[in-house]
Chains A and B, each alone.
Chain A
Amino acid sequence: MVTPSPLSSYQAMSSLLNLFGKTPLTRRRALWGLLLIAPNTIGLFLFFGWPILQSFRISFYEWNAFNTPRFVDIENFQRLYDDPMFRKALTNTLKLVGFVVPLEMGLSLSLALLLNQRLRGRILFRTIYFLPVVTSTVAASIVWTFVFQRRYGLMAAALEPFGYGDLNWLVDPDLVLFPIVVVTVWQRIGFDMVLFLAGLQNVPRVLHEAAMIDGANRWQRFRHVTLPMLSPTTFLILTLATISSFQIFDQVYIMTSRTIRGGVGGSARTLSLYLYESGFGQSSDYGYASAIAFILFMIILGITVLQLIAQRRWVYYETESG
């Protein structure tokens, strides 16, 4: 057995030290840097990084609040595959995404275009549209629950003249997703609008001027100048909107809490709500809930990657030639 000579261990030490810099000053700076980042980095690892890694592991275990974890391979995922409640939650979530994202983006882009004009009271309008963003989703959902109340709600009052005043929005399985879409869109428009406005301000004027000289009308300029120049913003918003729509929880939890949580027959249950119910409901099935979480994460990761790829193909950046 070879014992390291004092010299070689000194060399090892010094090459390790060299990693931190070649002079005492750079070494001291490196140490300071590490000290400064330590609290947040350690905290992030402990409370986010580690639980994330663990979550993937427990999705392969049978584990609830009462037994010890037991490795069951992909059994949780097989159960998910056969679980009609999970399928229902998945379809509901996809429906919500399908309704919310286009509505949210279309409306917020329209508002941003309107507000990007030379008009009076732009700041006031922007303030009003942004108000719902700062409201708590729980409080907003409570208000909208009353708006969608059968017969006595605002929606009923608005639809009464057309003979639809008696719709049971929050109970009827065919209708229940609609109020959830409305409250979600209402709450997000202002956020997207601010991002769109920032994007619109970055469209260089010279391009509009050039297009005008070429005789392009408003629509043509929107279609061929504004829209392409805005595409990085549009893609960012599309990604954010899709990802957060997959996580809808608060609205559903609150708006169906007066009747049956998750809606009659699970008609309003989302993936997040099902995850919550499986993990923290009566069964406390941590393994199963983690499997749902895993699926949710893979969906979100997939969207991110997909949109990154798509972005490379379609999005116009100013730095590109052309």
Chain B
Amino acid sequence: MLGRTMAKGSIVAGCLAPHPPHLVYAENPPQNEPTSEGGWEQLRWGYERLRESLSKIDHDVLVILSPHWQTYVGTHFLGLPHFEGLSVDPIFPNLFRYSYNLDIDVELSKAIHDKAADAGLAVKMMENPDFRVDYGTITTGHMVNPAFDKPLVVISSNRSRHYYSVEVMQEMMMELGRVTRDAILESGKKAVVLASNSLSHRHFTTESDVPEDMSKEHITSHAMHLWDMRIIDYMRTGQAQRIIDEMPEFTEQAIAESDGGGLTWLLSTLTVPTYPAILHGYGTIIGTGNAIVEWPCYAHEEV
């Protein structure tokens, strides 16, 4: 198994791992109450390939930044060792009613929190036991590791882009990514970092009678497709810096879910990689563009 001899902490892989609940719905796992006839196979097969790839990399913890835990006052971290309950998607409750049961690596969460505070970011630990974990975290967590047998670090999505600009968001997320990386390296743990966001994010406003009817599924517009392919091309050719550079235009014009900061944070934790990423899958979900992408750090970084 790759990475087993690593002595100090490391990021062994970075992933773009979008969270549409449709993917969980389509799998019919026992945790989810609604049942389907399948659907979105291209993306689900992509997640299969990602899981297969990660299974070959030794890792201790999954660090997720979720755009569906939206905080406007600072960046927050789940701060209790265990959460369980029922997650019902407020937008697609017909598809996602999921009983979750997950562990948090509070030690690493607190370490990232403390470093972010030292760097001048507004941060807070979330320690209310009644808190319901957001469905984005759960969906990405399920698709990457359905057994939930590795602890998570869950980071909220600060919506600074909505108050100021994409540039302000990027500044904050680059810094958060840097301290996330530092904390992981110092922790002695091997981490997979995951940005739980789609690319272009313009939805259809109607839903098929059978939500998994794939004859209805396509990108909402050609412009969205062009943007998605452009960003994916940068990923596949090791041009992450160009993604950072074009993030304002991408976020504005593709109404991209990168507005939540996850993609910028992810690229920062990977020190803006210059090596090619692996595209495990791309597909649309109610018109939004979703890519499952892995940066195989273990093969390109000295760890």
**A and B held together in a complex:** no
Using CB atoms and an 8 Å cutoff, list the residues of chain A in contact with chain B. Answer: none
Using CB atoms and an 8 Å cutoff, list the residues of chain B in contact with chain A. Answer: none
